[in-house]
C-alpha cells in the first residue's frame, strides 16, 4: 500500500513538473511573439525573406500580379492565415499590385508575429 502510494506520488510530481515546463515554454513563446524587436533583430530576420524591406516600424513588400482579379485573389488568400494568427496585414491595392505592410499595432512596432505572417504570405504568393 505504501509502495503503491509512493509510485503514485512520484508519477503526480513528474506529471506536475511536465505541465509546469509546458506552460512556461508557452509563456516564453507568447512573450517573444509580442515583444518589440530591435533593429539588429529586424535586419537579421528580414534577410531570410525575399523582397521585404523595413523602415524599422513595419515590414513591407509589394506583390505584382497579371491583373486586378489575380491581385484580389491573393488578398483573399490572406484572410485565413491572418484570422488563424489573430494578426492582420495592412493592405493597399493598386490595379495589379498589392502592398503588404506588417506591424504589430498593439506593440507599436515590429514583433515576431509580423515575420511569421510575412513568411506565410510570401509562400502564398508563389
Ligand X SMILES: C[C@H](O)[C@H](O)[C@H]1CNC2=NC(N)=NC(=O)C2=N1
Q: Give Cα separations from 94 to 27, 46, 97, 100 (angstroms).
A: 40, 24, 5, 12
**CA within 13 Å, CB half, 51:** 14
Of 77 and 88, the one with the shorter C-beta distance to ligand X is: 88
C-alpha cell at 123: 509562400
The residue among 61 and 87 lying less far from ligand X, judged by its C-beta, is: 87
Cα angle value 115/98/119 (rounded, 5°): 20
Least Å from the CB of residue 89 to ligand X: 7
CB of 12 to ligand X, least distance (A): 36
Q: Report which residue's Cβ sits closest to ligand X.
A: 106
Q: In this complex, which beta carbon is closest to ligand X, that of residue 41 or of residue 116?
A: 116
Q: Which residues bind ligand X (CB under 6 A)?
A: 86-88, 104-106
| Shortest reach from residue 19's CB to ligand X, in Å | 26
Amino acid at each position: 500500500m505504501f509502495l503503491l502510494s509512493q509510485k503514485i506520488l512520484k508519477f503526480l510530481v513528474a506529471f506536475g513538473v511536465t505541465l509546469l515546463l509546458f506552460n512556461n515554454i508557452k509563456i516564453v513563446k507568447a512573450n517573444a511573439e509580442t515583444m518589440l524587436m530591435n533593429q539588429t533583430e529586424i535586419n537579421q530576420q528580414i534577410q531570410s525573406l525575399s523582397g521585404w524591406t523595413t523602415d524599422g516600424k513595419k515590414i513591407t513588400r509589394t506583390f505584382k500580379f497579371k491583373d486586378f482579379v489575380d491581385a484580389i485573389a491573393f488578398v483573399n488568400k490572406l484572410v485565413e492565415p491572418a484570422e488563424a494568427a489573430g494578426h492582420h496585414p495592412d493592405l493597399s491595392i493598386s490595379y495589379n499590385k498589392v502592398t503588404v505592410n506588417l506591424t504589430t499595432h498593439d506593440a507599436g512596432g515590429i514583433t515576431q508575429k509580423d515575420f511569421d505572417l510575412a513568411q506565410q504570405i510570401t509562400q502564398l504568393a508563389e
